[in-house]
Amino acid sequence: MKLATLVYVRANGRTLMLHRIKKANDMHAGKWNGLGGKLEPGETPEECAIREVAEESGLRLIDPMLRGMIVFPQFANGEDWFTFVLTADQFTGDLIDSPEGVLAWVEDERLAALNLWPGDRIFLSWLDDPRTFSAKFVYSAGELTKYEVVFYTPGGGLERVRREMGGAATESFTPVYTPADDTYCWICGGAVVKRHCKIVCPSCGFTRDCSDP
């Protein structure tokens, strides 16, 4: 299993993205991605994030924050990748001509329109969630076939979601209800609407009963 970081540097409503169009035999060729790379021996995820972002962009991160973890089974060359996902909104330095691809600050509302891995469109919405996530995204021939995630609530509750692509989501969780639970989609994190005590997500279509006790 390969250990890696995936880092999203954010500032003023924009996210620093890397268009992977420079390296030969790049498993991310043509895709837009966050920054990051493989952990070196003895590194913490935070140390790796700081080093990789400096090498790829010239920016020096200050206190990157771990947001979650994702396992990608047999993602490339038959190997599993275990990825620590971090964000950072404090940094110093200036952008360089990256050896990994072309860097660009992209408005957050435009991220989903980029040529991303399909799973990225799902977990990018989790970066603003106060919960920590532990997820698995399964790909076959470059297509996302299913994913599952556990969200850990700061107050101690957890929520588990499992979804086959093209099928319905299933969920089980131990709730610690707050009114905020009915203000966002539990699948994609987007805004929702209430219809006759149903919570409906216009973005992904996920529908559930209201959680009001």
Give CA–CA dist 72/80, Å, rounded.
Answer: 6
Which 8-state DSSP code applies to residue 49?
H
Same domain, 93 and 181: no
Q: How many domains are contained in the chain? A: 2
Domain residues for 9?
2-175
| CATH for 85 | 3.90.79.10
Same domain, 109 and 188: no
Q: Chain-centre distance of CA 52, in angstroms? A: 17
Q: Is the dihedral of CA 34, 14, 145, 163 positive or negative?
A: positive
Residues 29-88: tens digit of each pLDDT: 889 999 999 999 999 999 999 999 999 999 999 999 999 999 999 987 788 999 999 999
Same domain, 135 and 195: no
Same domain, 63 and 87: yes
Same domain, 181 and 121: no
Same domain, 189 and 135: no
pTM, entire model: 0.76
Radius of gyration of the chain (CA): 18
